[in-house]
Amino acid sequence: MSDSLPAPAQAALQAFADQPGWEQRARLLMQWGERLEPLDVAERDERHRVRGCESAVWLVAQRRGAGWQFRAASEARLLRGLLALLLARVDGLPAAELASLDLADWFARLGLSRQLSPSRSNGLNAVLARMRALIAEDGRATDGSPGAGPSENAPPGA
């Protein structure tokens, strides 16, 4: 994992390091979930839904310069917090860094790995896999590969 973390990821590490126990971390986790930028109703469709999550999760990706910006939503309160922390870690990363991201290490550094159930962990891995797939789709759309179409989440003209 890169030593240079995005500012939101650094803020998350500091905030969670300051919490003495799980109850405080859980409360903070839910507060982080409230920070998620809401998705439009049109973005909460099957095209943006992440498969492999027990709770419904929607993911929207957009290229920003050399990096990527993601927005996500879920109806599950705890999962919204986990998504917010994942987005804090990946926001603005170039494709190569996102491809090598160690999700388990990120949540361990936050002190949350012991509280992640196997189903939540699988769901978060499904979100990360979808992020990587969207980036790969965009790469195929922009490199002129035969049969490659534009990313379903790419902005118009990307």
User: How do residues 100-154 score in pLDDT, each as one tens digit?
Assistant: 999 999 999 999 988 888 999 999 999 999 999 999 988 765 554 433 333 444 4
Give a yes or no: residue 153 inside a domain. no
Quick one: which of 155, 133, 135 has its CA closest to 143? Answer: 135
**List of residues 6+ apart from 90 with CB closer than 8 A:** 6, 68, 70, 98, 101, 128, 131
Residue among 9, 29, 53, 135 flagged as catalytic: 53
Does the structure show a pLDDT above 90 at 2? no
pLDDT of residue 147: 37
Give the global pTM: 0.85
CB neighbours of residue 116 within 10 Å: 17
Rounded to the nearest 10 degrees, the angle between the axes of helix 22-33 and helix 77-90 is 80
β partners of residue 57: 74
Can 102 be counted among the known catalytic residues?
Answer: no
Give a yes or no: residue 147 inside a domain. no
Rg (CA), the chain: 16
Q: Return the DSSP state at 21.
A: S
Q: Return the DSSP state at 37.
A: P
Q: Which domain holds residue 52?
A: 7-141
CATH number at residue 34: 3.90.1010.10
Give a yes or no: residue 154 inside a domain. no
Which residue reads 């790419």 in tokens? Answer: 154
Give a yes or no: residue 157 inside a domain. no
Domain count, the chain: 1
Quick one: which of 86, 127, 116 has its CA closest to 26? Answer: 116
Does the structure show a pLDDT above 80 at 156? no
pLDDT of residue 3: 55
pLDDT in tens, 28-61: 999 999 999 999 999 999 999 999 988 999 999 9
